[in-house]
Amino acid sequence: MSGKQTLVVVGNGMVGHSFMEKLVAAGGLEQYQVVVFGEEPRPAYDRVHLSEFFSGRSAEDLSMVPEGFYQKHGIDLILDEAVIAINRDTRELTTNKESSIHYHKLVLATGSYPFVPPVPGHERDNCFVYRTIEDLQAIAKAAGSSKVGTVVGGGLLGLEAAKALKDLGLETHVVEFASRLMAVQVDDGGGAMLRQKIEALGVQIHTGKNTRLITDGEGTVHQMQFADGEVLNTDIVLFSAGIRPRDELAKQAGLVMGERGGIVINNDCLTSDASIYAIGECALWDNRIFGLVAPGYQMAQVAVDHITGKGSSQFTGADMSTKLKLMGVDVASIGDAHGNTKGSLSYQFIDEEKQVYKKLVVSKTKKRVLGAVLVGDADDYGTLLQMMLNGIVPPANPAELILPQSDASASASAGLGVAALPETVQICSCFNVSKGDLVDAVAAGCQDIAALKGSTNAGTGCGGCAQLVKQVLDHELTQLGVEVKKDICEHFPHSRQELYHLVRVGELTTFSQVIDKHGRGMGCDICKPTIGSILASCWNDYILKSDHAPLQDTNDYFLGNIQKDGTYSIVPRVPGGEITPQKLIVIGEVARDFNLYTKITGGQRIDLFGARVNELPAIWQRLVDAGFETGHAYGKSLRTVKSCVGSTWCRYGVLDSTSMAIAIEHRYRGVRSPHKVKMAVSGCTRECAEAQSKDVGVIATEKGWNLYVGGNGGMKPRHADLFATELDDEILVKYIDRFMMFYIRTADRLQRTSVWLDNLEGGLDYLKSVIIDDSLGINQALEDEMTHLVGTYQCEWKTTLESPEKLKRFSHFINSDQPDSNVVFVDERHQIRPATKQEKIQLKEVI
Partner 1 sequence: MSQWTTICQDEQLSANLGICALVGAYQVAVFRVKDQVFALDNFDPFSGVNVISRGIVGDLRGHLVVASPIYKQHFDLTTGQCLEDDTVSLNVFPVRVHEGAIQVQPAPLVRPVAEQVA
- Of the candidate spans 116-124, 172-180, 545-553, 780-788, the one that interacts with partner 1 by CB under 8 A turns out to be 545-553
Phi, psi (degrees; rounded to nearest 5) at 458: -55, 135
Task: Please spell the DSSP secondary structure of 438-502, one letter per residue.
Answer: HHHHHHTT--SHHHHHHHH-TTSSS-TTHHHHHHHHHHHHHHTTPPPP--SBTTBSS-HHHHHHH
Interaction of residue 200 with partner 1, rule CB under 8 A: no
Applying CB under 8 A, which of residues 416, 473, 551, 608 lies at the interface with partner 1? 551
536 vs 551, which CB is nearer to partner 1? 551
- Minimum gap (Å) between residue 431 Cβ and partner 1: 13
812 vs 833, which CB is nearer to partner 1? 812
Interaction of residue 847 with partner 1, rule CB under 8 A: no
Contact positions with partner 1 (CB under 8 A) in 395-424: none
Cα three-residue angle 458-463-465, rounded to 5 degrees: 65
Q: What is the dihedral of CA 469, 470, 472, 475, to 10 degrees?
A: 180
Interaction of residue 365 with partner 1, rule CB under 8 A: no
Interaction of residue 430 with partner 1, rule CB under 8 A: no
Applying CB under 8 A, which of residues 2, 118, 424, 564 lies at the interface with partner 1? 564
Are the beta carbons of 17 and 43 closer than 8 angstroms? yes
Q: How far apart are the first and last CA of the chain?
A: 89
Interaction of residue 829 with partner 1, rule CB under 8 A: no
- Minimum gap (Å) between residue 246 Cβ and partner 1: 52
Interaction of residue 213 with partner 1, rule CB under 8 A: no
- Minimum gap (Å) between residue 562 Cβ and partner 1: 6
* Residue among 54, 333, 296, 86 at smallest CA distance from 187: 333
* Residue among 663, 660, 628, 667 at smallest CA distance from 644: 660
Applying CB under 8 A, which of residues 37, 297, 315, 558 lies at the interface with partner 1? 558
Interaction of residue 812 with partner 1, rule CB under 8 A: yes
6 vs 614, which CB is nearer to partner 1? 614
Interaction of residue 545 with partner 1, rule CB under 8 A: no
549 vs 626, which CB is nearer to partner 1? 549
* Residue among 539, 548, 585, 568 at smallest CA distance from 630: 568
Applying CB under 8 A, which of residues 258, 311, 436, 463 lies at the interface with partner 1? 463
Are the beta carbons of 423 and 416 closer than 8 angstroms? no
- Minimum gap (Å) between residue 608 Cβ and partner 1: 19
Interaction of residue 821 with partner 1, rule CB under 8 A: yes
**What whole-number distance in Å separates Cα of residue 402 and Cα of residue 631?**
47
Interaction of residue 491 with partner 1, rule CB under 8 A: yes
Task: Please spell the DSSP secondary structure of 518-548, one letter per residue.
Answer: H--SS--TTHHHHHHHHHHHHH---TTSTTT
Applying CB under 8 A, which of residues 487, 498, 553, 690 lies at the interface with partner 1? 553
Interaction of residue 557 with partner 1, rule CB under 8 A: yes
- Minimum gap (Å) between residue 828 Cβ and partner 1: 19
- Minimum gap (Å) between residue 508 Cβ and partner 1: 18
- Of the candidate spans 31-39, 177-185, 425-433, 815-823, the one that interacts with partner 1 by CB under 8 A turns out to be 815-823
**What whole-number distance in Å separates Cα of residue 642 and Cα of residue 661?**
7
Are the beta carbons of 540 and 546 closer than 8 angstroms? no
- Of the candidate spans 53-61, 123-131, 232-240, 551-559, the one that interacts with partner 1 by CB under 8 A turns out to be 551-559
45 vs 558, which CB is nearer to partner 1? 558
In terms of phi and psi (left: phi > 0; alpha: psi -120 to 50; beta: otherwise), the region of 710 is: left
- Minimum gap (Å) between residue 546 Cβ and partner 1: 8
Interaction of residue 554 with partner 1, rule CB under 8 A: yes
Applying CB under 8 A, which of residues 342, 354, 830, 837 lies at the interface with partner 1? 837
Interaction of residue 610 with partner 1, rule CB under 8 A: no
582 vs 816, which CB is nearer to partner 1? 816
Interaction of residue 612 with partner 1, rule CB under 8 A: no
**What whole-number distance in Å separates Cα of residue 40 and Cα of residue 134?**
9
Contacts 24+ apart (CB under 8 A), 521-528: 521/490, 521/491, 522/491, 523/491, 523/551, 524/489, 524/490, 524/491, 525/553, 526/488, 526/489, 526/749, 527/488, 527/489, 527/491, 527/492, 528/552
- Of the candidate spans 22-30, 47-55, 324-332, 522-530, the one that interacts with partner 1 by CB under 8 A turns out to be 522-530
Interaction of residue 522 with partner 1, rule CB under 8 A: yes
Interaction of residue 566 with partner 1, rule CB under 8 A: yes
**CB-based contacts of 259, cutoff 8 Å, min separation 6:** none
What DSSP state is assigned to residue 63?
Answer: B
**CB-based contacts of 794, cutoff 8 Å, min separation 6:** 542, 670
522 vs 584, which CB is nearer to partner 1? 522
What DSSP state is assigned to residue 835?
Answer: P
365 vs 821, which CB is nearer to partner 1? 821
- Minimum gap (Å) between residue 820 Cβ and partner 1: 5
- Of the candidate spans 110-118, 222-230, 357-365, 549-557, the one that interacts with partner 1 by CB under 8 A turns out to be 549-557
- Minimum gap (Å) between residue 490 Cβ and partner 1: 7
- Minimum gap (Å) between residue 471 Cβ and partner 1: 19
- Minimum gap (Å) between residue 633 Cβ and partner 1: 16
Interaction of residue 841 with partner 1, rule CB under 8 A: yes
Helix (H) / strand (E) element for 708: namely strand 704-709
Interaction of residue 485 with partner 1, rule CB under 8 A: no
- Minimum gap (Å) between residue 561 Cβ and partner 1: 11
Are the beta carbons of 568 and 801 closer than 8 angstroms? no
Interaction of residue 525 with partner 1, rule CB under 8 A: yes
Distances (CA, A) of 276 to 106, 254, 298, 358, 758: 5, 12, 17, 44, 55
Interaction of residue 173 with partner 1, rule CB under 8 A: no
Task: Please spell the DSSP secondary structure of 335-361, one letter per residue.
Answer: ESTT--STT-EEEEEEETTTTEEEEEE
Applying CB under 8 A, which of residues 814, 827, 829, 846 lies at the interface with partner 1? 814
649 vs 813, which CB is nearer to partner 1? 813
* Residue among 253, 279, 251 at smallest CA distance from 265: 279
568 vs 743, which CB is nearer to partner 1? 568
Phi, psi (degrees; rounded to nearest 5) at 290: -105, 100
Interaction of residue 562 with partner 1, rule CB under 8 A: yes
Interaction of residue 818 with partner 1, rule CB under 8 A: yes
* Residue among 612, 17, 15 at smallest CA distance from 269: 15
Residue 374's DSSP bridge partners are: 332, 358
Applying CB under 8 A, which of residues 4, 96, 351, 813 lies at the interface with partner 1? 813
Please compute Rg for the chain using Cα positions.
36
* Residue among 675, 692, 804, 796 at smallest CA distance from 746: 675
- Of the candidate spans 121-129, 370-378, 665-673, 835-843, the one that interacts with partner 1 by CB under 8 A turns out to be 835-843
- Of the candidate spans 107-115, 259-267, 658-666, 836-844, the one that interacts with partner 1 by CB under 8 A turns out to be 836-844
491 vs 752, which CB is nearer to partner 1? 491
**What whole-number distance in Å separates Cα of residue 624 and Cα of residue 35?**
89
Q: Which residues bind partner 1 (CB under 8 A)?
A: 454, 460, 463, 490-491, 521-525, 527-529, 546, 549-554, 557-558, 562, 564-566, 812-816, 818, 820-823, 837, 840-841, 844
